Amino acid sequence: MSAYFKDYAVPQPNFLILCSDEHSRSALGCYGHAVVQTPTLDRLAARGTRFSRAYTPSPICIPARACLATGLNVFQNRCWSSAEPYYGQFESWMHRLRAAGNDVVSIGKLHFRSGADDNGFCEELVPMYLANEGRGWPQGLLRRPLPDYEDARELALESGPGESTYTEYDRRITAEACSWLKRRSSSSDAPWTLFASFVSPHYPLTCPQPFFELYEGAEIPEPFAYSAPERPDHPVLREMMKFWNYDDYFDAETRRLARRCYYGLCSFLDDNIRQVLAALEDSGQSDNTIVLYVSDHGEMLGNHGFWTKSVMFEDSVAIPMIMAGPGVGTGVNPTPVSLTDVAATAEQVAGLASRFGGHASASRSLLDLASVPDPDRFVLSEYHDGGSPTGSFMIRRGDWKYIYYAGGYTPQLFDLKLDPMELHDLGPDPEYAPVRGRLHAAMCDILDPEAANNQAFSDQAAMMELYGGIEGVMAMQSFNHTPVGS
């Protein structure tokens, strides 16, 4: 039994991690959205802890999921981009749990290199690995200079009511998870850990009809900070917007349609989670299972002129994180937390001694943080993937968000208490130089951002060389979202 749970007179609990893809923290009812309907996740939050300052370690799938597995940050994993995945090269929490005799199983999207690698799970059911035979999206390695990205047009073209390979895949994940829980209820009393990972509400923004109809007549707000004068006037972000030019293919009608479909996909995801939690309840294991809901990153949805992710604005980098179950208190927790904290949490639930020490930003158990909040903690996010001419590094500490761009660019600074929509960049303001100095010193306490940026470009140049240089990379399959079955 884990020492943590002795006070609760329960055996070592099971651990159910529900992970989505591209679910912005702002797009849930329990986080204050006035339109999006997420009743299942709202109920989960009402009986547990809702972390109000949760972040992804990288606003792109593959690096974020590597960090979730290892508990390390991007600069430590060196899984920089969509072509540099996790393949078991660092010990994961799954490896540790399996070695301790725990049954640890994944169902659904992994976005690791392949099933031929030892990722740490005992079993990987209906998995999604990287396309291009495990090589992912190597076009993102081409960052100096940035090429054109013709696949951006698909986002607007594929928005609307209907079914996609992604919604069909999520239904398979849900059915497999429900079946697994039913089998597990009668097969063993030993505790288990299940990682059930959905692809919704990730684009294509094709929404099943019943969930599209949920928003019939709803007031779909326009993107904020959308007009040209309102968009960010920063050289790195201008370059990124030129590459990720999704918005060029929208008009007012299709923009509203896409946002409505995203809301519908959030509700579709919520309904799939409802089915899984109902199966958990029917299995008789709900009272002895800790449930954690997270997403790998968010979705900009046109705000600030951006779609999808990759930038350090809140809708891209801020994620939902909700935990409920035995030993978990109720309420809203202001501690800055990260997907890296999943590792320490899984290991504590399984009764293992923590292997993460040192700096307060290292992986920490969400159980401990739920019991004793640490609002002065900070967490880190990084981006070194396609569309970016240089590495970006973000820390969230207290009310402040600080973003550093390697290579001598002006940093950004936002006071999220006074400016939650990030409309007023204090990065160039001399009055806030002391704040920027403190936050930069805190960042440099855990990494040298310039050295990390140089390492990322060096690693990516070596990988491009393996693929035959620029011509070889450009000849490989490109896509706007990972094909199911790859």
Residues 423-459: tens digit of each pLDDT: 999 999 999 999 999 999 999 999 999 999 999 999 9
Confidence label for 8 from pLDDT (cuts 50, 70 and 90): very low
For residue 68, count CB atoms less than 10 angstroms from its CB and return exposed for 0-12, middle for 13-18, buried for 19 or more.
buried
Confidence label for 219 from pLDDT (cuts 50, 70 and 90): very high
Confidence label for 4 from pLDDT (cuts 50, 70 and 90): low
> Alpha carbon 101 to chain centroid distance?
28
Q: Which of 447, 307, 303 is nearest to 379 (CA)?
A: 447
Element (H, E) at 254: helix 252-282
State which fold the 3-474 domain adopts. Answer: Alkaline Phosphatase, subunit A (3.40.720)
pLDDT greater at residue 99 or residue 150: 99
Instruction: Give the range with max mean pLDDT: 147-161, 167-181, 186-200.
Output: 167-181
Helix and strand counts by DSSP (H, E) for the chain: 16, 14
- What pLDDT does residue 2 have? 52
> Alpha carbon 8 to chain centroid distance?
31
3-state helix, strand, coil in the chain (%, to 5): 40, 15, 45
Q: Give the full edge-to-edge strand order of the sheet including 331-338.
A: 123-128, 103-109, 192-201, 14-21, 289-295, 321-324, 49-55, 331-338
CA distance 333 to 424: 26
- What pLDDT does residue 340 have? 98
CA angle 290, 26, 236 (to 5 degrees): 115
Contact 56, 299 (CB under 8 A): no
Q: What is the mean pLDDT of residues 369-384?
A: 96
Q: Give the pair of three-digit tokens for residue 55.
A: 């972040």
Which residues 6+ apart lie within 8 Å of 344 measured at CB? 71, 93, 354, 356, 363, 364, 365, 366
- What pLDDT does residue 5 have? 54
Residues 139-172: tens digit of each pLDDT: 999 999 998 898 999 999 999 999 999 999 999 9
Q: Which of 183, 180, 193 is nearest to 346 (CA)?
A: 193
1 has a pLDDT exceeding 60 = no
Q: What is the mean pLDDT of residues 328-334?
A: 97
Radius of gyration of the chain (CA): 21
DSSP-assigned beta bridge partners for residue 106: 124, 195
**Which conformational region is residue 32 in: left (phi greater than 0), alpha (psi within -120 to 50 degrees), or beta?**
left
pLDDT greater at residue 244 or residue 474: 244
For the chain, the domains span 3-474
Share the mean pLDDT of the chain: 95
Write down the H helix ranges in 47-202.
Answer: 61-70, 74-77, 93-99, 131-134, 154-157, 165-187
Contact 439, 380 (CB under 8 A): no
DSSP string, 425-469: --TT-GGGHHHHHHHHHHHHTT--HHHHHHHHHHHHHHHHHHTTH
Q: What is the mean pLDDT of residues 62-82?
A: 98
Q: What percent of the chain has pLDDT over 70?
A: 97
- What pLDDT does residue 187 have? 57
CA distance 406 to 389: 9
pLDDT greater at residue 261 or residue 188: 261
Residues 101-128: tens digit of each pLDDT: 999 999 999 999 999 999 999 999 999 9
